[in-house]
Amino acid sequence: MGVLLVFFSISFINGKGKGTDIRKSFLSHLYAALDQKGFYTYIDSEELQKGDFIKPALMKAIEDSRIAIIIFSENYASSRWCLEEVAKIMECKKQRDLTVFPVFYKVDPREVRTPRESYEKAMVEHERKFGRDSDEVKRWKNALSDAGSLSGWDLKDKDEAEADLIKRIVQEISMQLDRTPLHVAKHPVGIPRQVVKLKSMLNLESRDDVLMIGLWGQGGIGKTTLAKALYNDIFRGFEAPYFLANVRETSKDSKDLVHLQEKLLSEILVRKNLTVSSVDRGINLIQHRLCRKRVLLVLDDVDDVKQLNALAGGHEWFGKGSRIIITTRDNHLLTVHRIDEDHIHEVKTLKDGEALELFNKHAFLRSKKIVIRKDFVDGALHYANGLPLALEVLGSFLCGRREQEWESALNKLATSPDKTINDVLKLSYDGLEDYAKEIFLDIACFFKGRSIEYIMKVLNSCDFDTTIGVQVLVEKSLITKEGETIQMHDLIQLMAMDIVKQECRDDPRRRSRLWLCEDVCDVLSGDMGTNAVKAIVLVLPKTEAIYIGPNAFTNMRRLRLLIMINVHNSFQGPICLPNELRWFEWPECPWFPEFSSCPNKLVGLDLHKTNIQVVREQFK
């Protein structure tokens, strides 16, 4: 990373009065305190401050520094050398995001930025020497005005002791130098192009407004990675940057929100052990303490609007030019927080070339030349389907393994998802209300790729609030609407199917949904259904047959959905269906179904390929 350099700009002009002893007292003590903390400091020597031009080594030191401290004393502006330094420092602040702190050592900040008193006299003398319209003098004046307007420390004769001021300066610098770039990813493939787009969305050139943007997408898609990369690219341009990670995990109740408020305030205000008594008190503190600071705040993995209300409730909480970045799986949270669509970036799966690059970086070591069949690599890429988390996990797992192991692993993953990937994806499901979970599992197990109209019709028959439910699933990044159909990532579908299998891994009869041909055939042919089964969808291959006993559905008293495709001539007589059935779709059914009593809950009936010519009275 290089040296964490602190550059000091200070006048070595001797004078009579209040600035004379600065080198022997204040500066030497501050230097010693920083040195004790392990910071490398660069102070231009009196010997260097000779001649008409600033030395190249000094310019390089300013450019290489993370922080510049300008000590404005009584005689500072008398030195052309110091004026060149402050001009260079302010130039680096704009161009290189150099952090600059002024120390007003026994001078009023207004003397520096106006200028007045000794600073006015010094500038008059420079104008006399170089000309009132000199570009050089104008540059110095602008630099003094800009530097004098910065937030820093003001030490007057009767103010706090120098030792206390030095302690505060060292604490601030320690906090600033702790604000190092975040670790993004071992291989941040596909990230730079998205950072460029987001920087444009942030409109960083504007300092007159406060802007909030959202990064939205499914679990494992790379929202946090992208937010870290964006933060690293821009954080040095802000007075108060902070990345608040894992908001969802660390805010289960109001006490946790208070803790997050304390962390946010402590980091930005550079105050350790700051205590917040309640969420409401924390809201007031954030509003009052940050409303004049140019803040860069990243709230990572937000899943509840209460978190936003407690940490970044409004634009007016922050100073002009502030930028708030929110990552979430829930698009609706951003809408509720008044973030318009133009400021919401949907993080999508990687492009094919990027997916291959990321997978290869994890799966193949440069030091080992292992040849793997292309169809195995293609199979792994198809499984991950552009999801960065899956590409990294799968690539790392397969790294260094032989072809036989690749084949075995891919066969296993086709029916049993990787636990690391599954746990991340399942978080979105866990946050759903019960009705939305039911809708999601039905879509994942039965209806992926089907038309929205058909899905709505079927699920509405089951007495679900399907319209709002489907919208919630879209907002939670669990499904997508593509044209007139509903789609979802293959790994999300696999996660959903695994949830159903986990209901009873060894016994399909005790699962809520059946869709695999083998499971359906075993349950129906042996009359082994149970009260656990809620829905069955069987699309039987045309080359296969299934025997269904007359009492196959007798024990499935909670069955609400039954769809049988390509199933015909599978039984000898009418079957008896439970009264809870809402949707019955069996195009080739040769018999009219019977119910244990009146089918008063049946909403959908599809027998369009049957030869039945007489409709029973109860279905008219």
Question: Does pLDDT of 13 surpass 90?
Answer: no
Question: Does pLDDT of 1 surpass 50?
Answer: no
Question: Does pLDDT of 20 surpass 60?
Answer: no
Task: Give the residue carrying structure tokens 């949904």.
Answer: 513
Q: What is the 3-state secondary structure (H, E, C) of 108-153?
A: CHHHHHCCCHHHHHHHHHHHHHHCCCCHHHHHHHHHHHHHHCCCCE
Residue 18: the pLDDT is: 42
Question: In percent, how much of the chain has pLDDT > 90?
Answer: 56
DSSP, collapsed to helix, strand or coil, labels residue 8 as: strand
HSE, side-chain direction, 13 A CA sphere, residue 306: 13
Residue 552: the pLDDT is: 87
Distance, in Å, from the CA atom of 175 to the CA atom of 168, rounded to the nearest integer, reads: 11
pLDDT tens digits for range 53-94: 556 778 888 888 888 889 888 888 988 888 988 999 999 988
Task: Give the residue carrying structure tokens 């400091």.
Answer: 41
Mean pLDDT on 572-588: 84
Question: Does pLDDT of 15 surpass 70?
Answer: no
Distance, in Å, from the CA atom of 236 to the CA atom of 68, rounded to the nearest integer, reads: 13
Question: Does pLDDT of 594 surpass 80?
Answer: no
Task: Give the residue carrying structure tokens 């140019």.
Answer: 294
Mean pLDDT on 93-122: 87
pLDDT tens digits for range 42-61: 776 544 444 445 567 788 88
Question: Does pLDDT of 12 surpass 60?
Answer: no
Residue 599: the pLDDT is: 67
Give CATH for domain 5-178: 3.40.50.10140
Highest average pLDDT, of 22-26, 76-80, 141-145, 368-372, comes from 141-145
Distance, in Å, from the CA atom of 609 to the CA atom of 616, rounded to the nearest integer, reads: 17
Backbone φ, ψ for residue 242 (5° rounding): -155, 135
pLDDT tens digits for range 142-175: 999 999 998 888 887 555 678 888 888 888 887 7
Name which residue leads in pLDDT, 301 or 54.
301
Residue 19: the pLDDT is: 41
12, 309, 514, 530, 564 from 535: Cα distances, Å: 85, 40, 7, 12, 11
pLDDT tens digits for range 316-354: 999 999 999 999 999 999 999 999 999 999 999 999 999
Residue 572: the pLDDT is: 61
pLDDT tens digits for range 504-530: 989 999 999 999 999 998 898 877 889
**Tokens standing for residue 400:** 């260094």
- Closest C-alpha to 322, from 229, 200, 203, 227: 203
Q: What is the mean pLDDT of the chain?
A: 87
Residue 591: the pLDDT is: 75
Specify the fold of 423-502.
Answer: Arc Repressor Mutant, subunit A (1.10.10)
Annotated active-site residue 125? The verdict is no
**Tokens standing for residue 65:** 């520094």
Tell me which of 214-228, 465-479, 575-589 is least confident. Answer: 575-589
pLDDT tens digits for range 457-466: 999 999 999 9
Residue 52: the pLDDT is: 45
Distance, in Å, from the CA atom of 386 to the CA atom of 275, rounded to the nearest integer, reads: 44
pLDDT tens digits for range 376-419: 999 999 999 999 999 999 999 999 899 999 999 999 998 889 99
Distance, in Å, from the CA atom of 399 to the CA atom of 564, rounded to the nearest integer, reads: 43
pLDDT tens digits for range 269-288: 877 778 999 999 999 999 99
Superfamily of domain 191-346: P-loop containing nucleotide triphosphate hydrolases (3.40.50.300)
Question: In percent, how much of the chain has pLDDT > 70?
Answer: 89
Q: Beta strand pairing status for 604-606 and 67-72?
A: unpaired
> What is the amino acid identity at position 179?
R
> What is the amino acid identity at position 138?
K
Residue 611: the pLDDT is: 63
Distance, in Å, from the CA atom of 193 to the CA atom of 190, rounded to the nearest integer, reads: 6
Q: Cα angle at 8 between 145 and 154, to 5 degrees?
A: 55
Residue 479: the pLDDT is: 96
DSSP of 477-539, one letter per residue? TS-EEETTEEE--HHHHHHHHHHHHHTSTT-GGGSSEE-SHHHHHHHHHTT---TT--EEEEE
Residue 529: the pLDDT is: 83
Quick one: CA dihedral 347, 348, 353, 354, positive or negative? positive
Cα-based torsion angle of the residue sequence 496, 499, 501, 502 in order, rounded to the nearest 10 degrees: 170
- Other C-beta atoms lying within 10 Å of the C-beta of residue 579: 14
Q: What's the helix, strand, coil split of the chain in %, to 5?
A: 45, 15, 40
Q: Which residues make beta-bridge pairs with 585?
A: 563, 606
Q: Are 279 and 261 in contact (CB under 8 A)?
A: yes
Q: Beta strand pairing status for 344-346 and 211-216?
A: parallel
What radius of gyration, in Å, describes the C-alpha atoms of the chain?
A: 34
Distance, in Å, from the CA atom of 416 to the CA atom of 152, rounded to the nearest integer, reads: 59
From 46, 63, 84, 85, the catalytic residue: 85
